[in-house]
Structure 1
Amino acid sequence: MKKTQPVKRFFLNSVLAAAALCFTACDPDSGPAIPKGAYEKGVFILNEGNFQKGNSTVSFYDRDTKTVLPDIFSPVNSRPLGDVAQSISAHNDRAYIVVNNSNKVEVADINTFESLGSISGLAMPRYFAVANNKGYVTEWINYGIKGRVSVIDLSTNTVIKTIEVGTMPENLLSFKNKVYVANTSDNTISVINAATDAVETTITLAEAPNSLVLDAKDKIWVLAGGKKSYKPDFTVDENKSTVGNLIRLNPANNAVELTLPFASRKDSPGQLKINGAKNKLYYRYAGKIYQFDIAATALPATALINRNFYGLGVDPATDMIYGADAGFFTANGKVIRYSPGGAAQDSFQVGIGPNSFLFR
């Protein structure tokens, strides 16, 4: 019997070692995270497609492998995305894609892009944001009339309230339980209290605000395009038009702290973006891309990129700049990537009419 004890001890030790190994391997906190899906990390490119053709798509770019998937929605859902994809946002592993001419917001699992339903009952929707665990969608409704913001129950994907704002509301920004709405055809920002879902105040500033971002100092920067008047030949009548402006707004008291006018009455600045550190702004103006340090008190005289783009994005993880070239909307567009210093790096083909980016 004594001769068998070492065997028994060896067997027991082996079992305990195996059990310990299994415990370590099976412990979800000790091993590598299980991927949630194919699109957990990368860049989404929204392609609006042709008006009334219903051919909008979402492309996906893998930063690590530098590979591109031209359409990730239709293959997994066996149906098209819709007509004119306007914007894309993310919240809690869900993608919210505003499809303007289909009057809906498509909701998808952001990791697999399987459809999770859609939000209907909208009229010319534009942009989407989340505040106080609710969704907010800007809607033009119709040209020349007051627009609105629809409040969305994110658990049911239904509209629970509508809020009248200014004319042609465009981009919106969520900060400290408030939603700031740029009314593009007015000279105002509507401030919605996300607790009461009512307009708390209206801020008057320069004409035609179109985009806004929050910086590292909790200041809101607004890009206003200026009011444009047109001649019979559709060129800008500079005598009857106003210049665009870059504006710094303090959300603590809604005061306009800084207004920097652009030189041209003809050109409208747009596509305001911010880097990962939130200390540099980027925008499109007069056919070029400019960079602006938030500590500056004057607009830059020299462009960062001497090229115009239909859509603009800045990757917060790398500060790489993405430019969307839509061409003439008759064929697939392309994306050109630039270093933070403005040097072209590479390019790749995407769908028709690329207009915006979502980085993960």
Structure 2
Amino acid sequence: MRIRVQAMGLLAALLSVVCACDKIPELPSFEGEDGNKAVMIVVNEGLFTTNTAALSVIYADGTVHYDVFRAVNQRPLGDVAQSMAEINGLYFIAIDNSRRIEILDPKSFRSVGSIRYGRAGSPRYITPLTDSTAVVSDLHNQLVTIRTRPPYRELEYIELPFSSSGIEQMITVGGKVFCTYIDRGIAVFDAAKFRLSTMRLIDEVSVSWAQSTAKPVVDHRRRIWILSTKRVDGIELPRLSCIDPVAEEVVDELLIPIKKRGDLKRGDLMGMPGYNRIDIDPSGRRIYLSLTEASEDNPGAKTRPLQVIYTMDVDSKELTRYLPLPEVKLMYGMSVSPEGKVCICDCLDFTAQRGYVRVYSPDRGEEKSYKVAVYPNFVFFPKS
């Protein structure tokens, strides 16, 4: 997300002081000869316009390197790291305000190439198309196809038809690309022949700006679940919509009941936090989503809601209260590890200080918090 902060110069100066005071730990062996492998890679946006995007690496022994790209490559990652995808055994990092895709070797974190846009653009999310191409969503109402094997380069800028909206998150399933097209529906493309002329829209699912950065997930039956809302009796209800990728249609949904503010009691569902997030467990059977609850009886408009993680069984659609997060100041990202641990990116209060990744074990207790870089928004788990 783009963060525009007043007094930018003062905050940038404060940020440089904070980072300078932290000793950068020695890099562990990337090859894992010492048994100390990377277990989490954290994408940190950094403060907008200050070139402070960073990759933080959390190792098996608990060591944290909060800016590994800079240490390895002797240069900053760029301005606003938006997302990361693993394609063809390499890491592709979308650097939003730098108009660049950075490509990294996963063992050494060395840059093996970069794709710089030749025109205006703000790369957001990346999903593969073929074994040599991918598509990147963009804030400039366009999609950009890129080459994911040497020579790395942009291929085509595809202007979208509706100027008032755009595409954010995307997922490739069964040779098709499903995209959250803001206020329009779910756009569907054929991956091998990616053409605007063949785009289809599933307009039953309308995704607003608030839900557009919540990633689609795939369950154990290879169905796609997407977070959206649906207006019922004057209330915008959170909704999980299930799409059959073969039929390209909605086959199931869960409407999450929330109450009007004047009728709230302690523990009642109020809605979703400002940054809506979902993920799915390794079995593909349980979806995790962030909701908010009333934290006291008859709360007024100024009451701070409690952030809570709920789970939904994808077969029974049973919704269960799972994990309250009273200690989290601002949840900016959520990921579920291969071991079923919930990892929360806590940005604290958006004052350009380094945030935390808070890890919760499957029995719901906070296991540990790791201090990372500025504005962590996504946790990636290396396959080995």
1:168 equivalent in structure 2: 166
Which residue, 296, 299, 304 being the options, matches 2:316? 296
1:102 equivalent in structure 2: 98
AA aligned to 1:299 is L
Contact 1:85 1:100 in 2 (8 A): yes
AA aligned to 1:257 is V
* Distance change in 2, residues 1:162/1:241 (3 Å): farther
1:190: Cα distance to partner? Answer: 0.9
1:72: Cα distance to partner? Answer: 0.6
CA distance in 2, matches of 1:40, 1:77: 19
Which residue, 314, 323, 343 being the options, matches 1:322? 343
1:37: Cα distance to partner? Answer: 8.8
1:178: Cα distance to partner? Answer: 1.2
Provide, for residues 167-200 of structure 1, a one-character-per-residue CA deviation record: whole Å limited to 9, x for no partner: 23111101122111111x2141111111211244
* Distance change in 2, residues 1:80/1:268 (3 Å): same
Contact 2:340 2:361 in 1 (8 A): yes
1:313: Cα distance to partner? Answer: 0.8
1:240: Cα distance to partner? Answer: 7.4
1:131 equivalent in structure 2: 129
1:303: Cα distance to partner? Answer: 3.9
Which residue, 256, 279, 284 being the options, matches 1:262? 256
1:53 equivalent in structure 2: 50
Runs of 4+ with deviation above 4 angstroms: 36-41, 238-241
- RMSD (CA atoms): 2.5
| Unmatched segments (≥5 aa) in structure 1 | 1-33, 142-146, 228-237
CA distance in 2, matches of 1:158, 1:114: 18
2:376 equivalent in structure 1: 354
Larger radius of gyration: 1
CA distance in 1, matches of 2:272, 2:158: 28
1:298: Cα distance to partner? Answer: 4.4
1:40: Cα distance to partner? Answer: 6.2
Contact 1:76 1:114 in 2 (8 A): yes
1:73 correspondence with 2:78: no
- Secondary structure of 2:216's partner? strand
1:44: Cα distance to partner? Answer: 0.2
Provide, for residues 297-354 of structure 1, a one-character-per-residue CA deviation record: whole Å limited to 9, x for no partner: 3433x242334521111112x1111111111233111111101232211111100111
Contact 2:87 2:148 in 1 (8 A): no
CA distance in 1, matches of 2:358, 2:246: 38
Per the normalisation by structure 1, the TM-score is 0.79
- Secondary structure of 1:135's partner? strand
CA distance in 2, matches of 1:49, 1:149: 24
Which residue, 178, 183, 186 being the options, matches 1:186? 183
AA aligned to 1:340 is P
1:220 correspondence with 2:218: no
2:356 equivalent in structure 1: 334
* Distance change in 2, residues 1:162/1:178 (3 Å): farther
Contact 1:247 1:259 in 2 (8 A): yes
Per the normalisation by structure 2, the TM-score is 0.74
Q: In the comparison of the two structures, how many residue pairs are matched? A: 308
Which residue, 136, 146, 152 being the options, matches 1:152? 146
* Distance change in 2, residues 1:175/1:37 (3 Å): farther
1:258: Cα distance to partner? Answer: 1.5
- Secondary structure of 1:35's partner? coil
Which residue, 278, 282, 285 being the options, matches 1:272? 278
CA distance in 2, matches of 1:54, 1:226: 38
